Amino acid sequence: MPELPEVETIRKYLNKTILRKRIVNIKVFSKKQFPNNSEEIVGAKILSVKRRAKNLIIELSNEKTLLIHLKLSGQLLWRPKTLNKTTRIVIVFDKGELVFNDLRKFGWIKILNLDQLDLELKKFGPEPFSKDFSIKYLQKVFKKSIRPVKTILLDQEKIAGIGNIYANEALSEAEISPQKPVKALTIEEIKKLRKAILLVLRQGIKYNGASAADKLYLKPDSSNGSYQQHFRIYQKNGEKCKKCNTIIERINLGGRGTFFCPKCQNMSRFRYI
DNA sequence: ACTTCAACCTGTGGGC
DNA sequence: TGCCCACAGGTTGAAG
Ligand SMILES: [Zn+2]
């Protein structure tokens, strides 16, 4: 479910609502998703809520942190009306509760000290909104791989935070075939792609993230994001491309649904292999 | 060192 | 209704 814009939307909300609150209890209904001893953080206060890649980092007053990954179906809801059968963890504060729902049970919350946190986060590539995410960096990374460009966009060690929605949307915006071997991108295409990535991520944040067809993504106040209303290509197979009216196709690339306009994002005019 | 792909879970929706 | 298949915002580790 949540990619950079969704996690960032959640981060901003939580950084307002749980700041300086004290953890008084933790209810764990799915042990493997909260493998540590909750006693370690009962009594601690929230100092900040940060994000790295698709991870949320909650900094606590006792030199410990909570590292949270929502994977495909995780939700963090602030004082929801009810718990449900997907509720896996509840963090109880002196005032209010933060509820972790997760239909598919892939997500997790870990308690880490500061060294362990650094260790966990050092593998990620540059944040798209940092200066490290430069044309020069992309050229360096792209020329080393023959994998399809979309696969590289999803590789968190190369670029942090892009997931399947925003990879599809960025390639549509840049009019580049998802299957194109990444080392075959021209400098112009790399510039166009970088710009497209920044654009779709900014739009995603502006619209509070995307709640796609299955509505698994919710903001902490239990409302939907609205970026799905602005999708160019994601899950639009069978519909007409807005630019050229060609029917949008769906293929499987690296096990992920991949959507593209065969005319605007074509590769057939060229030979790569 | 690189790339691919099953595995981790629990659904929903469509075709027959 | 029921069964079977495809599909779902992610990551990992094993195998080639
Ligand atoms: Zn088109």
Sorted by where each starts, the structural domains of chain A and their CATH numbers stand as 4-121 (3.20.190.10), 135-260 (1.10.8.50)
Q: Is the pLDDT of residue A134 over 80?
A: yes
Express each pLDDT in A2-15 by its tens digit.
999 999 999 999 99
Give CA–CA dist A154/A46, Å, rounded.
Answer: 31
For residue A1, the model assigns a pLDDT of 67
For residue A213, the model assigns a pLDDT of 83
Which residues lie near nucleic chain B, judged by CB under 7 A? A 32, 85-86, 103-106, 144-147, 151, 214, 254-255
Express each pLDDT in A155-181 by its tens digit.
999 999 999 999 999 999 999 999 999
- State, as a whole number of angstroms, the distance between the CA of A70 and the C1' of C13: 20
Ligand 1: centre distance to CA A260 (Å): 8
Place A272 in a pLDDT band, splitting at 50, 70 and 90: very low
Place A271 in a pLDDT band, splitting at 50, 70 and 90: very low
**Structure pTM?**
0.97
For residue A268, the model assigns a pLDDT of 61
| ipTM score for this prediction | 0.96
| Bases in strand C with any atom closer than 7 Å to a protein CB | 7-12
pLDDT top residue among A215 and A55: A55
In the block, which residue shows the tokens 């005032």? A95
Active site residue A158: no
Active site residue A169: no
Mean pLDDT of A226-250: 97
Q: Is the pLDDT of residue A208 over 50?
A: yes
- State, as a whole number of angstroms, the distance between the CA of A96 and the C1' of B6: 41
Of the residues A11, A51, A54, A158, only one is catalytic, namely A54
Mean pLDDT of A13-21: 98
